[in-house]
């Protein structure tokens, strides 16, 4: 029996490396037990995860493992007695998290060792590349991608084949294929997980794309905040070179292509392809007008193609199984599967891959298990800071590009932030405007100044300083910014504001007219008091108050001085009788 530990970033953050060290200490060479690693399988809420394999078959999946469990796991691996770890085994409910998914881009994540080329090759690894180089012309490759209906998974949803074909048709002494791994959406971690967990599938997909467009160099632009992804990608690159899968005369086909990594400094605007190219060239990451498009004049003024990590992770499956098989999944206008980072007020958070055409309800309640702590679902933010908030009454919205766009949200790169009844939608809009205003490159006036003016209004609203006409002014500014900004960052920055006004206008009105936050989240709008009918005078709240705003005799009802109260919530958390009233 062998032991495999999930050591993606989420697993390591939860303590997987310590579990690994404890298991190494609990085993001896004489035991003959191999301890290996894998990446993130997507069940981030259950990390650290340890899998026990009997040969190639999964014998047991153990979740929320700690260092203290190492001796029992080691003994179970030695003896095959899985009863020793019965209390750690994954529940049938949690198994549904994976069983209800359709995994293509994530099919190897949490299964293969990301540092092992041999492990990747066990499951048809690099067979798609061999097929392409040995049997297919570049035009046939592009035709298969066209048949599949694969659209770019970075957010815009532009047909992948069209971009590849445009780069193929444009002439240049040298062409470049660029992988956009500059994943900057708050709450999104799809690309990071794929690079950490299955780097070879991205390399293989990029090589196929490079062959299709005639590129001789691949550049992966990945943010420096992803050190594990960079490490695993570097290991995979060296392994591929050593196996003649990267470099000169790949597999004896006459096709030569090498690759390198560029670590970006984490500017959100560099996710826009022309800003990314500027950054690659050593310039400040700022977008430019198109045309010319990168396929005509991209990196170093040469024809270039840019797709994101998830897009390339689908390519090998399409080549191996045929474009028709991929197109059979999804809807008429959105083919295949999509990966989402499911986060927020959700029971089961992590990475989810589902066929296009599933509903929001399928993901949030079917896979994610619904809202935690018994709260009510309120909204889901789709598409990150460029997306919008979709309310509870649209929970049965189909997940495809057209249907999501009709709600005012977008697919984006795949962020899915779930909110419950305690989330203030004005505060949520402010959170994303804070982000986009800070990340604006400043090149164009509408984005540089318009986002700041919108942000200023939202700050006033959450502080109880809203004025009549603020909602209309926000809408006017949003229309101006979205309609006249230079790039996608500014064009989509107003989406969180527009959708929250559209679906939760009453919350904006309450902030302005009543100076109240219906969700009771905006601290400056809250008033704390004590119910004299239920207060027992235990004095615990008074002892917990950091500013001595609570007074009263022992065993008598206490009171809170509203002028001294800083609304920290210590009294609410400490009261055992439910006597603290928040309004």
Q: Are the C-beta atoms of residues 497 and 454 closer than 8 Å to each other?
A: yes
Q: What is the pLDDT of residues 411-438, one digit of tens each?
A: 888 889 999 999 999 999 999 999 999 9
Q: What is the pLDDT of residues 460-482, one digit of tens each?
A: 999 999 999 999 999 999 999 99
Please give the model's pTM, rounded to 2 decimal places: 0.94
339, pLDDT greater than 90 = yes
Q: Which residues pair with 350 in a beta bridge?
A: 342
Q: What is the pLDDT of residues 144-180, one digit of tens each?
A: 999 999 999 987 789 999 999 999 999 989 999 999 9
Q: What is the pLDDT of residues 341-370, one digit of tens each?
A: 999 999 999 999 999 999 999 999 999 999
**From CA 400, how far away is CA 415, in angstroms rounded?**
14
184, pLDDT greater than 90 = no
Return mean pLDDT, the chain: 96
* Average pLDDT score over residue span 247-255: 97
What pLDDT does 185 receive? 84
Tell me the helices (H) and strands (E) count for the chain, helix number first: 23, 17
DSSP designation for 411: -
Residue % of the chain over a pLDDT of 90: 95
What pLDDT does 207 receive? 98
How far lies 443's CA from each of 50, 271, 304, in Å? Answer: 48, 15, 23
The region of weakest confidence among 155-164, 208-217, 314-323 is: 155-164
What pLDDT does 266 receive? 86
**From CA 327, how far away is CA 321, in angstroms rounded?**
11
**From CA 265, how far away is CA 285, in angstroms rounded?**
10
């Amino acid at each position: 029996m062998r032991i495999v530990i999930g050591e993606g970033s989420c697993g390591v953050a939860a303590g997987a490396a310590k579990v690994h060290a404890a298991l190494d200490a609990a085993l001896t060479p004489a035991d003959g037990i191999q301890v290996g690693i894998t990446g993130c399988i997507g069940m981030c809420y259950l990390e650290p995860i340890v899998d026990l394999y009997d040969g190639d078959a999964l014998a047991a999946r153990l979740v929320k493992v700690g260092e203290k469990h190492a001796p029992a796991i080691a003994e179970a691996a030695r003896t095959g007695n899985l009863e020793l770890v019965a209390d750690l085994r994954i529940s049938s409910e949690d198994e549904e998290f994976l069983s209800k998914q359709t995994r293509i881009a994530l099919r190897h994540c949490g299964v293969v060792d990301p540092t092992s080329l041999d492990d990747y090759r066990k499951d048809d690894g690099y067979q798609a590349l061999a097929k392409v180089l040995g049997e297919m012309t570049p035009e046939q490759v592009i035709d298969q991608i066209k048949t599949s209906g694969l659209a770019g998974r970075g957010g815009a949803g532009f047909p992948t084949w069209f971009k590849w074909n445009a780069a193929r048709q444009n002439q240049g002494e040298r062409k470049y294929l660029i992988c956009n791994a500059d994943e900057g959406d708050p709450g999104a971690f799809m690309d990071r997980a794929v690079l950490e967990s299955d780097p070879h599938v991205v390399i293989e997909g990029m090589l196929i794309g490079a062959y299709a467009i005639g590129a001789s160099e691949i550049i992966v632009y990945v943010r420096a905040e992803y050190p594990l992804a960079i490490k695993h990608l570097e290991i995979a690159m060296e392994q591929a070179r050593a196996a003649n899968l990267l470099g000169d005369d790949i597999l004896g086909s006459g096709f030569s292509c090498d690759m390198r990594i560029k670590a970006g400094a984490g500017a959100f605007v560099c996710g826009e392809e022309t800003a990314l190219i500027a950054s690659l060239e050593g310039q400040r990451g700022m977008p430019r007008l198109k045309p010319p498009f990168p396929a005509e004049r991209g990196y170093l003024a040469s024809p270039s193609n840019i797709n994101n990590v998830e897009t390339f992770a689908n390519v090998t499956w399409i080549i191996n199984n045929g474009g028709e098989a991929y197109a059979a999944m999804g809807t008429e206008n959105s083919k295949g599967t999509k990966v989402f980072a499911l986060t927020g007020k959700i029971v089961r958070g992590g990475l989810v891959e589902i066929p296009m055409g599933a509903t929001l309800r399928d993901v949030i309640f079917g896979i994610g298990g619904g809202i935690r702590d018994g709260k009510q679902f309120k909204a889901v933010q789709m598409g990150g800071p460029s997306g919008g908030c979709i309310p509870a009454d649209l929970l049965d919205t189909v997940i495809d590009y057209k249907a999501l766009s009709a709600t005012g949200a977008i697919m984006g790169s795949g962020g899915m932030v779930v909110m419950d009844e305690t989330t203030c939608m004005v505060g949520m809009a402010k959170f994303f405007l804070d982000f986009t205003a800070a990340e604006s490159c400043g090149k164009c006036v509408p984005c540089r100044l318009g986002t700041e003016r919108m942000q200023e209004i939202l700050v006033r609203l959450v502080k109880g300083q809203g004025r009549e006409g603020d909602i209309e002014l926000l809408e006017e500014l949003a229309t101006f910014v979205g309609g006249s900004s230079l790039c996608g960052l500014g064009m989509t920055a107003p989406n969180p504001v527009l959708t929250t006004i559209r679906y939760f206008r009453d919350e904006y009105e309450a902030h302005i007219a009543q100076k109240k936050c219906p969700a009771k989240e905006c601290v400056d709008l809250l008033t704390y008091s004590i119910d004299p009918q239920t207060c027992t005078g235990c004095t615990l709240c008074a002892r917990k108050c950091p500013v001595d705003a609570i007074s009263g005799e022992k065993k008598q009802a206490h009171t809170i001085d509203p002028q001294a109260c800083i609304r920290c919530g210590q009294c609410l958390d400490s009261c055992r009788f439910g006597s603290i009233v928040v309004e």
